[in-house]
Chain A
């Protein structure tokens, strides 16, 4: 009977503690935010470029125009990026090819990011860039300075293509289209623009 009284007294003494333990239950939530690099390149204009070579002056002087033969693309990127152009020889589907070095391009800023500040165009700080030959791997854009991560409005560019002009032939060493004795036909290729994080 005495021990029962002791136990009862002990329970009464511990009751507030037991009640408190049930009322204050705790658990953890682990919060994290994982950021992967996100890059989105889009050709927004001029995804089909067509040159027509028909006259002697076109065969000897090539084709270029500020109003034709251009594409525009944008890059939305969460990280500093580079853009590489790759293209193979043009083919007519009948076994004949046209050397890709007959084609060249120069690049111009069309967004709010500037060459020399956020990026380089063809490795330089000028916009428009110098003329370059198309080929299997041509780095069009690379990050520099404060970096080029940003929106499409900031990273907007125009590629101006030309075909077998004297300035282009000075780079390629190729003769005129006339001297290349190109069989009449339509020669095609696909130019790939690939944006990736800066190494």
Chain B
């Protein structure tokens, strides 16, 4: 009888100990990750077809430019998750019949059109001025590069305007070419493609 009583007491002691370790709070986990690849997207938003018409003697000697920055302008913008640079290159200007026009006749300047600022976020043609100094088409050139606090950001921040001009004194001062009149250019239409390439800064 004593042994039986001992067994009963032990059994209930075991039951109680099971009750004491019952689970009152429980936790489980979810692992979450976000992988970010660098993303750069350059878009020419206006002025993807620029046409100069050289018809008068004045245009042959002084060239063409629009001081208002409307007629011969392109605007491009860059969405970039990382700091970037933009290189500008162009093909030869040809008429499809064997005649060519020296690309150095075309000058251009860049200016900020977004909220990021030259000297703070980027350089324009290597400098801290907007509009930038004059450059001419021909050899590939870095037109925008990150500087200071960097230029990763949205299109509204990275918007730029390129103002082209043809055969002006300012362009000729950079290229060293004579006036269009002095180049004996065959009357025809010369075309080229200007390519803007954005890439992550090294």
Partners in one complex: yes
- Which A residues touch B27, using CB under 8 A? 41, 192-195
15 CB contacts below 8 A, A to B, read A36-B22, A40-B26, A48-B31, A48-B33, A50-B33, A51-B32, A52-B35, A52-B37, A103-B32, A163-B34, A177-B36, A192-B29, A193-B27, A193-B29, A197-B25
Q: Is A2 an interface residue (CB 8 A)?
A: no
Chain B residues 1 to 58 lying within 8 A of chain A, measured CB to CB, are 1, 5, 8, 12, 15-16, 19-20, 22-39, 41
Count of chain B residues near A, Cβ 8 A? 36
Q: Digit string of B141-155 for contact with A (CB within 8 Å is 1, else 0)?
A: 000000000101110
Nearest B residue (CB) for A41: B26
- Bound-complex Cα distance A42 to B38 (A): 36
| Distance to closest chain B CB from A102 (angstroms) | 8
A191 in contact with B1 (CB, 8 Å)? no
Q: Which of A40, A46, A53, A56 contacts B35 (CB 8 A)?
A: A53
- Which A residues touch B31, using CB under 8 A? 47-49, 188, 190-191
> Of B27, B29, B34, B79, which is in contact with the most chain A CB atoms at under 10 Å from its CB?
B34
- Which A residues touch B150, using CB under 8 A? 181
Chain B interface (Cβ within 8 Å of chain A)? 1, 5, 8, 12, 15-16, 19-20, 22-39, 41, 79-82, 150, 152-154, 157
Nearest B residue (CB) for A92: B36
B23 in contact with A39 (CB, 8 Å)? yes
